[in-house]
Structure 1
């Protein structure tokens, strides 16, 4: 933590260091929420939690700014828990270990939680720093954004007093976000039938690992490998040829993180083990050729293991492999309206065997409702062909861009004055909570800004130190520039 204390601006980095020290993955935000509530009480701020656990803190206007439009700074409390395979870390108990690497802050072997910890730290820093001039101010911290936006779904009308909301969950300095994709979770559940393993078979684990992983929205267009899809591709090509007896398959840990690893436990006739290893080595060469620009560390490992579980029969094996291999993944369509922005995509995030069922969890995103509906219908049709049960749930709306937004225009004007350059006005292919906030607060003017964060939702996550300083300059200048009511 001492490294971060040397960075500017303060107290933003000190607050972020404290956030890192308190475990706060999705569904385990309570310790951090309790700390923030105690801190708000010590500072003498009005503070309250709602029925779903969201935190609201209010700070009076700086003297002379009482007539300005009230503003809410918003961030989410939770972080995505992802770690490298060789990292020993319990996200529910162990602190994140940030460190400075040149121009960046990273974490040791895990996600950093800059998404959305830097935004949260900036909002709390505004509360703590009395030199920041602002009108009536609220800070809204929401629960469990990363795994379904529970806090945003539960936000009630009439709680916030703000006319303007500044979301701090964007991840590119110099860009102003005025819209985002909506999403929906999709699950295919395929029944499995098992049979006894014949004599003369050896049990192996086939591991595909070393992929970078990343954010299933922001990184979906850059061609990263999806471990679930890459391993199913190999199995589809060779399961029948080698008479592979599939015992287990597991890959990915979160539906909104591009999976970095996948594992297949299988049995193969002893005289075909060498052939399996040879084909796996050849497939690795193929993937290294195909993905050489984006995946530098991809690896396929074959190792002997023991298993008491019976393998699938041939029909179940083929149905599962065919379903997973044919399930679409990645960009479905780019936007015609917003050039260079993905319109519709999906991420095959988590695959696992649960007893006698195979479960495939995907996250579908789209800027338009019809895009989500199209992909859901496609996945439903695939499930019908395979004999799987399908379920679409947890739909959340996108944030419709408003080209006439006064706060968006103010952010652009403020940015140009500060840095003598024009920021990019963007729509992000990720789920910001603003779309959900529009339901209880339809008249609230919203915008999203943030520093540069790369590799979110993966252990490669890092935040650019200089961009945090620029973001802080913009945020504090923007608060000072908010107009009168």
Structure 2
């Protein structure tokens, strides 16, 4: 197909300093600046949703908020495009709230601070929210434009994608009118996604038995920080350190030798983010303190050598803390250490069908201590249901051995590739016509909402595109400026090339 000469194919990224609202395309970046200014972590998207609703109504655009909180906005076709198939552009309203330890930031009240660093837009000490704020901004910019050609249009902005996909789960049949869905949550320019992994949350509970702490023992906290973290789907194959696993590894090797008694353990904050920080408080006999300090230094040397290429900022810190009233009984402590130390983590299997793509993985995401239990939340992903089921079976067996229980919640299906997808063919040919090179047709290991949309809307022809985003779900998140322009140009050309009904 041919593309309209009126579409701007510029990849201009100037200026490289100052406000992001001056970048190309301005309408998109102006929306992203507004989005950054309104706190919108998962489960707290109401203020951003209200802002968008107010704007849409002022534009005379029909707005619907469904029972789950998803936002649907409609726009009539531009002149001469009324007979085209209806397209829904889809993004999610929420963002992952992660920050560096030294960053003072409240995600419920404080704005994200975007800034331009050469070819990239980053945030100061926090996640940027380009996942999926750029996609959302593109949809809103198109809704507000008067010079973009498109057929009947819907914009679907879902809630809570990052923390359970409850918005996609709650979307009911009969709400959307579209024939085609363009998901904007992909994170690599030049790649067209036509499938994704499914997943499930594994919630492990280890009952705890406590005993009084020895009054003559010293109290310390061992902390691990400075890890890169990242998206537990997109970045799981990069060999990054998992703070929870690294912490357990130390105690598995030295708790008995040093006579350590654990009083509290915590690590990570999101099940779909590779944990960057973890800490464990414990008591140690006075006569073992020197040996403890030696072992911590030896362990630090070992893991910094192992992870020198992937985790250059890794930090291990031993600090004194307040003496606890109680510590874990020996049996519970050994169960806990063994459970975390042996729990699978990372890539479980690579795909046989899609070269270079992870088939199945597991992320030991969050550990927390309560009055009567230690809680561990893992994120299981797989391109195939049997792969996910096998990991569930492994976790069940492990928990049976460790005296723990596990519940599997929030299971969502993968998005099965459709090699006959008409919209995928349109996006591919449009990309080739604009950029004179073939895009890669991909399946992504991360979870997209597309698989869930297929249940209420089995007829939907779906594709996913987006700009290049690096290190989502962590404070190093950044989006490439030039590729935002390329993504925008492609999206507009695709909308103009949508076929007749």
Task: Specify the TM-score bucket, using the shorter chain as the normaliser.
Answer: over 0.9
- Pair 1:31 & 2:47 matched: yes
Question: Partner of 2:426: helix, strand, or coil?
Answer: helix
Q: 1:39 to 1:349 in 2, by over 3 A?
A: same
Can you list the C-alpha shifts for 1:431-458, whole angstroms capped at 9, x where unaligned?
1000000000001100000000001000
Question: Is the 2:275–2:366 Cα contact (8 Å) retained in structure 1?
Answer: yes
Match of 1:318 among 325, 334, 345: 334
Deviation at 1:270, TM superposition (A): 1.2
Cα distance between partner residues in 2 of 1:419 and 1:276: 59
Q: What is aligned with 1:132?
A: 148
Q: What is aligned with 1:107?
A: 123
Can you list the C-alpha shifts for 1:288-313, whole angstroms capped at 9, x where unaligned?
11111110100100001104340111
Tell me the matched-pair count. 485
Deviation at 1:402, TM superposition (A): 0.3
Q: What is aligned with 2:9?
A: none
Match of 1:471 among 476, 487, 491: 487
Question: Partner of 1:247: helix, strand, or coil?
Answer: strand
- Pair 1:79 & 2:95 matched: yes
Q: What is aligned with 1:257?
A: 273
Q: What is aligned with 1:230?
A: 246
- Pair 1:427 & 2:439 matched: no
Match of 1:195 among 199, 203, 211: 211
Q: What is aligned with 2:391?
A: 375
Match of 1:443 among 459, 465, 468: 459
Match of 2:470 among 433, 439, 454: 454
Structural RMSD (CA)? 0.9
Question: Is the 2:212–2:325 Cα contact (8 Å) retained in structure 1?
Answer: no
Match of 2:185 among 169, 180, 203: 169
Q: What is aligned with 2:110?
A: 94
Can you list the C-alpha shifts for 1:325-347, whole angstroms capped at 9, x where unaligned?
00000000000000100000010
Cα distance between partner residues in 2 of 1:24 and 1:403: 36
Moved more, 267-276 or 214-223: 267-276
Deviation at 1:145, TM superposition (A): 0.4
Cα distance between partner residues in 2 of 1:36 and 1:219: 31
Deviation at 1:2, TM superposition (A): 5.2
Question: Is the 2:213–2:325 Cα contact (8 Å) retained in structure 1?
Answer: no
Aligned ranges for residues 288-299 of structure 1 at < 5 Å?
288-299=304-315
Cα distance between partner residues in 1 of 2:340 and 2:325: 21
Question: Partner of 1:214: helix, strand, or coil?
Answer: coil
Where does structure 2 lack aligned partners over 5 or more consecutive residues?
Answer: 1-16
Where does structure 1 lack aligned partners over 5 or more consecutive residues?
Answer: none
Question: Partner of 1:206: helix, strand, or coil?
Answer: strand
Aligned ranges for residues 10-21 of structure 1 at < 5 Å?
10-21=26-37
Cα distance between partner residues in 1 of 2:215 and 2:206: 27
| TM-score, normalised relative to structure 1 | 0.99
Deviation at 1:200, TM superposition (A): 2.3
Question: Is the 2:31–2:141 Cα contact (8 Å) retained in structure 1?
Answer: yes
Match of 1:185 among 196, 201, 217: 201
Can you list the C-alpha shifts for 1:340-377, whole angstroms capped at 9, x where unaligned?
00000010000111112111100100000011100001
Q: What is aligned with 1:207?
A: 223
| TM-score, normalised relative to structure 2 | 0.96
- Pair 1:349 & 2:339 matched: no
Question: Partner of 1:410: helix, strand, or coil?
Answer: helix
Q: What is aligned with 2:434?
A: 418
Question: Partner of 1:348: helix, strand, or coil?
Answer: strand
